Chain A
Amino acid sequence: MQSKEAVGINISGGTTNWRKLLFDKLGSLLGLIVLMIILTFASPYFLTVNNLTNVLQQASINALVASGMLLAILTAGIDLSVGSVLALSISVSGIVIINFGLNPVLGILACLFVGGTAGMTNGLLLTKLRLPHPFIATLGMMNVARGLALIITGASPVSGFPDWIQFIGSGYIGPIPFSFILVIVAVIIFHYFLNRTTLGRHIYAVGGNIEAARLSGIDTDRVLTWVYTISGFMAAMGGIVLMGKVNAAYPLAGLSYELDAIAAVIIGGASFLGGVGTIWGTLIGAMIIAVIRNGLNLLGVSPDLQTVVIGAVIIGAVYIDVLRRQKK
């Protein structure tokens, strides 16, 4: 049969794969570069080491939270509770460290544990109670976690953390903020996790076609539970950075962080329909948001107007993506 010529065309697609990867990313990466060039001309302060490291630090918390959000969106879901879970996690952590005098290392582990548990609860509500959409479970958790954070802290901040915790949020290694190094490590782990582990690949499968995933013998409930657990965990990670940065744990931390996280994921090229998106895209999405905020600050634009601009950018970025897909 003519099978050999038909099959033998380009079986070694290894190199094209990288090129494609780059090309898919090129959209948002290009956006980031263009934005930076414009700002370089618009403000003399933009392209200074000081300012750029500042931007990286700004991007860090959102990038960590958005990594978890990416997983939820990859499975065609959403996690509205990340901001509140962040607040609850650091509140617990702050209280056990400052008020109860617990070893700070254990206190940080407690923070991650609370985040993961809250996330797992989201996952179990979704899969065990069969709530129709993660919107519901995580909307509920958004309120519950915020309320709990206010109750346990008595609605006031806790502060006075050891130096090394502050270093996580505000320290530098050379010119690079430590928090951004944390982000890079997280992104690399996520990259391998999503592309090179069974669970990671199952996340794409569940998002791409949940029925086909189930019929392929994939335990879709287990996958979804993991997704929300990790999302809660990453919210707590973001919380640790925030706590270190401001040297305080406060119950109103992370307000509306879910919106920035969703924006980062979507600007980074992920699809709300599930199954499409990468961690690199999300990182770039988080950077774009930070650069825009920073640029608007440098230009003296009021915070109110900044919100308007960010909203327009989200819509614009997704529209560009839609156009790009149509062309294909």
Chain B
Amino acid sequence: MGEIFLKMEKVTKIFPGVKALDEINLEVETGEIHVLLGENGAGKSTLIKILTGLYQPDGGSIYIKGDAVKSNSPQQALAAGIVPIYQELNLIQELDVTENIFMGREIKKIERFGILDREKMENRTKEILTELNQNISPTALIQDLGVGKQQMVEIGKALSVDVNLLILDEPTSALGKDEVKELFRTMRHLKEKGVTIIFISHKLDEVKEIGDRVTVLRDGKYISTKNIADVSEDDLVREMVGRDIKNQFPKVKIEKGAEALRVKNLSRAGVVNNVSLRAYRGKVLGIAGLVGSGRTELVRTIIGADRKDSGEIYIHGQKVEINHPKDALKYGMVLLTEDRKNQGLFLDQTVEFNCTSANLNKYKQNVLLDLTRQKEDTVGLIRSLQIKTPSTQTKVKQLSGGNQQKVVIGKWLNTEADIFIFDEPTRGIDVGAKVEVYNVINELTNRGVAVIMVSSELPEILGISDHILVISEGKVTAEFEAEEATQEKIMSAATINGGINNAV
């Protein structure tokens, strides 16, 4: 056994109504990649935040290289070389990439007068991003980048400081295959240099690929620590959820119904290029493609969140004009956005507020809203999606990341829409809960709803879709029936540039 870098002993953290951590132990060796695994709400992020001084523990002790940590604050942790990348992105949307990377540690020309050396910072930013093989301009505004690119900037920010312990809380949930590859390459490189890494992910194949050892948490309790080489993915699932998951993709095939949505020659300058597609009642249309290929822009344009330049949209055979998401909602079409924090949730509001926010008219009784029915529906959603929350009145910002994602799904399920567009619906959701989301999709199609699902996870695309479109550089480059599609075929279509539009 190597030298122990970090030891956490009987760490306990209590939030109002929840014992988030119950005497957790964690031992991380110097230079290893240690994986934290557990269901949504198991306590992973909380444990990390205690380690980085963001939260103070209610009990237990922390040792770094054998020395007890008496007091801990984010500044002290950073000074000790403990660098976290939190689950929710913390970039400033209005500033550019360089300013975000050097936030608080700006390089100055003349130290005394605080005059910034912009050129030096930009060059350094370019270096860091090149090292990650990212083609992102140092002067790009964060708000103009997709979440995948934002995540890479966040990683770049962490790499720009001297790090002893790098903590990555679900860095890959917003990343595509290629970016994950770059991240892993960088992680291995850091590991060779002796950096210790804590890595959190719900994707077990990634855990197997990159991890050395794994510690499993369940419901705030310590379950086990194992060498990853000694366990299978199934073993990990069993440790995490306490049972086997037999079928990861419980697909139910439904008879193809009438055409619900037809998009004809839709374009939006620079991002969506002459796309046509059809979605049918009872069917799932999967949209695959690399991160940044224009999938998100496509679905945003369809529901009127972004303005289209040309193209037509037909709903149930009728040509419609959609200029605002409210128009789409009126025609029964909704979009679950990929960026839950900035586009999906009202973080300061309760679970109930969020779950009912897209369809308040449903509860209108004369003038006032019917609170009893709101609560009933919310409780129903909490049950069916297994949202882990102390009550319907808990603020959403107090839920774990995966549970927040479930709230966004709940918000849309609570509409009477019959065309559902999901952009990365299972982002940050644990293995068990994913199955629940797929079951929900099955229920929807069974009800005659048309589903469109954008996803970066190919197994999910292959396992749940009936029909698959592949997008590259804003164009449809291939189209498959689910039966004939394979990961290889999709990947090769996803990397074509400017293919022919052979859709519909």
Give complex CA distance A37, B230 in Å: 70
B residues in contact with A302, CB < 8 Å: none
Q: Give the total number of A-B pairs whose CB atoms are below 8 A apart.
A: 111
Give complex CA distance A206, B431 in Å: 34
Give complex CA distance A217, B337 in Å: 13
Give complex CA distance A105, B219 in Å: 65
State the interface size on chain B (CB cutoff 8 A): 51
User: Are B382's CB and A11's CB within 8 A?
Assistant: yes
Q: Which residue of A lies closest to B41 (CB)?
A: A6
A202 and B371 contact, Cβ closer than 8 Å, known pairs A2-B219, A7-B382, A13-B392 = no
Give complex CA distance A143, B74 in Å: 47
Q: Which residue of B lies closest to A201 (CB)?
A: B360
Residue B367 is within 8 A (CB to CB) of chain A in the complex: yes
Q: Which residue of A lies closest to B344 (CB)?
A: A212
Give complex CA distance A204, B305 in Å: 21
User: Are A211's CB and B342's CB within 8 A?
Assistant: yes
Report the minimal beta-carbon distance from B394 to chain A, rounded to whole angstroms.
8
Residue A205 is within 8 A (CB to CB) of chain B in the complex: yes
Q: Which residue of A lies closest to B356 (CB)?
A: A201
Q: Which residue of B lies closest to A214 (CB)?
A: B325
User: Are B346's CB and A209's CB within 8 A?
Assistant: yes
Q: Is the interface of A mostly helix, strand, loop or mixed?
A: helix
B373-394 interface (Cβ within 8 A of A):
375, 379, 382-383, 386-394
User: Are A6's CB and B325's CB within 8 A?
Assistant: no
User: Are B346's CB and A197's CB within 8 A?
Assistant: no
A159-210 interface (Cβ within 8 A of B):
192, 196-198, 201-202, 204-205, 208-209
Report the minimal beta-carbon distance from A201 to chain B, rounded to whole angstroms.
6
A residues in contact with B346, CB < 8 Å: 204-205, 208-209, 212-213, 275
B residues in contact with A317, CB < 8 Å: none
User: Are B386's CB and A216's CB within 8 A?
Assistant: no
User: Are A9's CB and B241's CB within 8 A?
Assistant: no
User: Are B393's CB and A20's CB within 8 A?
Assistant: yes
A residues in contact with B392, CB < 8 Å: 11, 13
User: Are B243's CB and A1's CB within 8 A?
Assistant: yes
Binds A, one of B99-107, B131-139, B326-334, B451-459: B326-334
Q: Which of B324, B353, B389 contacts A201, CB < 8 Å?
A: B353
Q: Which residue of A lies closest to B363 (CB)?
A: A198
Q: Which residue of B lies closest to A198 (CB)?
A: B360
User: Are B219's CB and A6's CB within 8 A?
Assistant: yes
How extensive is the interface on chain A, given as a class? 35 or more
User: Are B328's CB and A198's CB within 8 A?
Assistant: no
Give complex CA distance A16, B395 in Å: 13
B residues in contact with A275, CB < 8 Å: 346, 348-349
A residues in contact with B463, CB < 8 Å: none
Give complex CA distance A201, B359 in Å: 11
B residues in contact with A209, CB < 8 Å: 342-343, 345-347
A residues in contact with B247, CB < 8 Å: none
Q: Which of B324, B349, B388 contacts A208, CB < 8 Å?
A: B349
Residue B2 is within 8 A (CB to CB) of chain A in the complex: no
A6 and B364 contact, Cβ closer than 8 Å, known pairs A20-B393, A215-B337, A217-B329 = no
Residue B315 is within 8 A (CB to CB) of chain A in the complex: no
A residues in contact with B382, CB < 8 Å: 7, 11
B2-42 interface (Cβ within 8 A of A):
17, 41
Q: Which residue of A lies closest to B349 (CB)?
A: A208
A215 and B353 contact, Cβ closer than 8 Å, known pairs A10-B391, A196-B369, A201-B360 = no
Give complex CA distance A20, B395 in Å: 12
A209-268 interface (Cβ within 8 A of B):
209, 211-219
Q: Which residue of B lies closest to A13 (CB)?
A: B391
User: Are A201's CB and B325's CB within 8 A?
Assistant: no
Residue B335 is within 8 A (CB to CB) of chain A in the complex: yes
Residue B358 is within 8 A (CB to CB) of chain A in the complex: yes
Report the minimal beta-carbon distance from A193 to chain B, rounded to whole angstroms.
9
Residue B186 is within 8 A (CB to CB) of chain A in the complex: no
User: Are B390's CB and A10's CB within 8 A?
Assistant: yes
Report the minimal beta-carbon distance from A14 to chain B, rounded to whole angstroms.
8
A212 and B342 contact, Cβ closer than 8 Å, known pairs A7-B388, A205-B357, A217-B334 = yes
Report the minimal beta-carbon distance from A199 to chain B, rounded to whole angstroms.
9
Q: Which residue of A lies closest to B364 (CB)?
A: A198
B238-282 interface (Cβ within 8 A of A):
241-243
Scoring A1, A209, A216 by chain B CB atoms within 10 A of each residue's CB, the highest score goes to A216
Give complex CA distance A82, B41 in Å: 47
Residue B318 is within 8 A (CB to CB) of chain A in the complex: no
B residues in contact with A219, CB < 8 Å: 324, 326
Q: Which of B17, B305, B342, B386 contacts A10, CB < 8 Å?
A: B17
A-contact 0/1 string along B209-247, CB 8 Å cutoff = 000000000010000000000000000000001110000
Report the minimal beta-carbon distance from B359 to chain A, rounded to whole angstroms.
8
Give complex CA distance A218, B369 in Å: 16
Give complex CA distance A213, B354 in Å: 10
Residue B432 is within 8 A (CB to CB) of chain A in the complex: yes
Report the minimal beta-carbon distance from A5 to chain B, rounded to whole angstroms.
8
Q: Which residue of A lies closest to B370 (CB)?
A: A196
A11 and B391 contact, Cβ closer than 8 Å, known pairs A197-B367, A217-B358, A275-B346 = yes
User: Are B386's CB and A7's CB within 8 A?
Assistant: yes
A residues in contact with B329, CB < 8 Å: 216-217
Report the minimal beta-carbon distance from B255 to chain A, rounded to whole angstroms.
30
Supply 21 A–B pairs (Cβ within 8 Å), ascending by A: A3-B383, A7-B387, A9-B391, A11-B382, A16-B391, A198-B369, A201-B360, A201-B369, A205-B346, A208-B347, A208-B348, A208-B349, A213-B346, A214-B325, A215-B303, A215-B325, A215-B343, A215-B344, A216-B358, A217-B326, A217-B334
Contacts A6-B219, A215-B344, A218-B357 supplied; 6 other A-B pairs, CB < 8 Å: A13-B391, A196-B369, A201-B356, A208-B348, A214-B325, A219-B326
List the 9 shortest-distance A-B pairs measured between CB atoms, nearest first.
Answer: A13-B391, A217-B329, A208-B346, A13-B393, A216-B358, A196-B368, A198-B360, A217-B326, A3-B386
